[in-house]
Amino acid sequence: MKQLMALFPYNVLLIIVGAVELAKWLLYLLHKSTIQVFNHRARANVKMDLDWGQKFGLMPRRLPKKIRHKSVLFHCASMGEVTATIGLIREILKQHPEHYVVVTTNTLTGKHQLQRRLSDEMGKRVFHTYLPIDLPWMMSALLRQVKPVVTLIMEVELWPNLIRKCRAKKIPVVVVNARMTDKTKRGYQRFSWLSGQMIKSLSKVLARNQDDFDRYVELGLPESRIEIVGNLKFDIEVPASELSQITRKEYNVENRLVFIAGSTHLDEEEVVISTYVKLKKSFPELLLVIAPRHPERFQQVLEYLLVQDVKIAQLSLDESVTDKIDVLLVDKMGELNRLYGAADVAFVGGSIAEKGGHNPLEASAYAKPVVMGPHVYNNSEVCSELVEAGGLVIANSEPEFTQIMTGWLSNKEAREAVGKAGLNAILSHAEMTATITTVVYNIIND
């Protein structure tokens, strides 16, 4: 009863938030049927789709009945969590061919990332649905349809009603790649009337490091239910060594030095272009590849590039990268990972802009040297380990950024050594998904 009373104001707040989200979705449907028929840019800028109604129980989840009592329910907040989860999903399907996987996300980009990363074979056993608003009847309906053998929550997306309903149905809840910052911990402590029972209901927390372990202990979870397994983001599929050369040939950049700026945000393109212009004087064969993080910014970045003194090719238009092209704009989703393979040097965005820095491991997996700005708090552990290994350099200013890039572009052996150091850091974390799968299934079978 005490927990239900604590959840009452939370549920009321969610009803209000849900009503706002529902209104946005209905407005999206109106645009889809009217304005967007005539406005291509409006279509490109939407962050919803028809299935968004699954959040409110208004659209079918399209989950086959055969998955009931045979599925693992994964919750991934968005694109980054989905990317980190793919290897673990692959390992679960490999070790347990009798099981299926249902992935829930909060965002359309998360859904699209899942669809892009699944092989045709995996797609037969992996299904997607949006996570409903965390209201008790919504979560009950989701669990009733899926009937999972376990619920895995990636990183830090803890939802009180989801966890409470899992506990009521005796479904173990495991937090994988558990991340708990000081700020998040303080928030949970401030609202302990809501979070206390939720934390204690977790079956297992697979923490990234000792700091995350300690913070969960401070929140009241017994040490026996916490295990340090390392950062799952390091356990990624390493591309075949020949793939880089194949991609360079495909994009006609075999005779170019390629500087890729991946997952860029507002104001980062300005720094990247400024640096590129300076570098171009010393390295005339240098090609800049820019991949904005969000598709709704593709047009904005294109308009910015058009007023610069550079010649542009757009990936979405299949424009050729001739010797005269200065900048290739990656204005298509799902292309960045492969393009890292074509690079000689890489900048990973969200780190000059104060967005916490995106994951540099996709570039490191191709043995590419990576530079980032100072704001890497969202991937602090990954970045710290790469810096320590020698595979990543942090630039704290634009002149420092230019200096690092100049050194790498002028010395092939130096940049290759940095790239190999990053790749070796990834390889040192091999078999992590197998370890996590074993722990999870020990809980299921307990």
Q: Which two tokens stand for residue 436?
A: 């996590």
The residue among 441, 426, 442, 440 whose CA lies nearest residue 84 is: 426
Catalytic position from the list 21, 81, 362, 400: 81
Alpha-carbon separation of residue 445 from 150, 173, 291 (angstroms) = 10, 13, 45
What is the C-alpha separation between 104 and 160, in angstroms, rounded?
16
Dihedral sign from CA coordinates of 229, 85, 171, 158: positive
What is the C-alpha separation between 165 and 237, in angstroms, rounded?
34
- Asked if 272 contacts 293 with a C-beta cutoff of 8 angstroms, the reply is no
The residue among 128, 190, 192, 131 whose CA lies nearest residue 159 is: 131
Interior angle at CA 351, CA 234 and CA 254, nearest 5: 70
Length, in residues, of the chain: 446
Rg (CA), the chain: 23
DSSP type of residue 76: E
81 a catalytic residue: yes
Alpha-carbon separation of residue 88 from 96, 207, 221, 226, 395 (angstroms) = 12, 15, 25, 19, 33
Write down the H helix ranges in 46-124: 79-95, 108-117, 120-123
Three-class secondary structure of residue 420 per DSSP: helix
- Asked if 298 contacts 281 with a C-beta cutoff of 8 angstroms, the reply is no
Query: What values do phi and psi take at 70, rounded to 5?
Result: -135, 20
Interior angle at CA 93, CA 86 and CA 216, nearest 5: 60
Three-class secondary structure of residue 158 per DSSP: coil
**Active centre residues (catalytic):** 81
